[in-house]
Amino acid sequence: MSIGPRLRARLADGSRPGSLGHRARSRRAAKLAATFPGLAGMHVLDLGGEPPFWRGFAVRPASVTVLNLLEFPPSEGWLETVVGDACDPPPAITGRRFDLVVSNSVIEHVGGHHQRQRFADVVRRSAGRHWVQTPYRYFPVEPHWVFPGMQFLPLRARAEVTRRWPLSPGRADNLPEAIANAASVELLSLTEMRSYFPESSFWYEKAAGLIKSVTAIS
């Protein structure tokens, strides 16, 4: 493994114990468990998450349904996986009511204001309580590429970062692919999050005294 992927794993890989990303994910998980002390008895819908997050969670909910565009191994008792779009869920999701919706670092990937509003509507329809976290637009380092100020650059410049920066989450082989990768992430401001979740309170995760991520909690 070259130095770029190794360094990226140490900085941003949330699944790698000891990395900065893993420590941040662990802090958020502890806050989630403290915010919902009855979590062990809840039926949870995770929009855009992955099963390993819940397998390693300190508290096991009564059930967890993970909705993701990716296909995961077959469901296992308390942990169910469903393939589908978090902005337009399949009947297996829309026909059910959950106790809590959880989503970590997904809303910035769904594609523009209209899709983000649809995502927020799904959150509200699915449960009376929610936890929706997203990286904060005005933190100085873009968290997916680990590149300072990347979110403020023109799209062509972001595409070039995607092609050339050694810490990019996925190196593009050509310019159209790089443009698509760069355009797939749109970090949100606090104003935007408040507009999508006006009934929520907000928790701010900080680093070096600056807001690093924003979580809408209801």
Q: What type of residue is 76? A: E
The pLDDT tens digits of the residues spanning 178-216 come to 999 999 999 999 999 999 999 999 999 999 999 999 999
Range name among 75-79, 90-94, 99-103 with the lowest pLDDT average = 75-79
The pLDDT tens digits of the residues spanning 117-157 come to 999 999 999 999 999 999 999 999 999 999 999 999 999 99
Mean local confidence (pLDDT), 58-74: 93
In this predicted structure, what is the pLDDT of residue 1? 44
In this predicted structure, what is the pLDDT of residue 19? 58
Q: Give 22-84 as a DSSP string.
A: HHHHHHHHHHHHHH-TTGGG-EEEEES--HHHHHT-SS--SEEEEEESS--SPPBTTEEEEES
Residue 14 reports pLDDT greater than 50: yes
Q: For the whole model, what pTM was predicted?
A: 0.87
* Mean pLDDT, rounded, of the chain: 90
| Residue 174 near residue 182, CB atoms below 8 Å | no
| Distance, first Cα to last Cα, the chain | 42
In this predicted structure, what is the pLDDT of residue 113? 97
How far is it between the farthest Cα atoms of the chain? 49
The pLDDT tens digits of the residues spanning 28-61 come to 888 999 999 999 999 999 999 999 999 988 899 9
| Residue 103 near residue 48, CB atoms below 8 Å | yes
Residue 6 CA from chain centroid, whole number: 22
Residue 15 reports pLDDT greater than 70: no
Residue 3 reports pLDDT greater than 70: no
Q: If pLDDT is split at 50, 70 and 90, which confidence band does 75 have?
A: confident
Structure tokens at 158: 């972001």
| Residue 115 near residue 106, CB atoms below 8 Å | no
Q: If pLDDT is split at 50, 70 and 90, which confidence band does 73 have?
A: confident
Q: If pLDDT is split at 50, 70 and 90, which confidence band does 26 have?
A: confident
Question: What are the phi and psi torsion angles at 207 (to 5°)?
Answer: -140, 130
Structure tokens at 180: 């698509």
- DSSP 8-state assignment for residue 166: T
Which has more confidence, 9 or 143? 143
In this predicted structure, what is the pLDDT of residue 4? 54
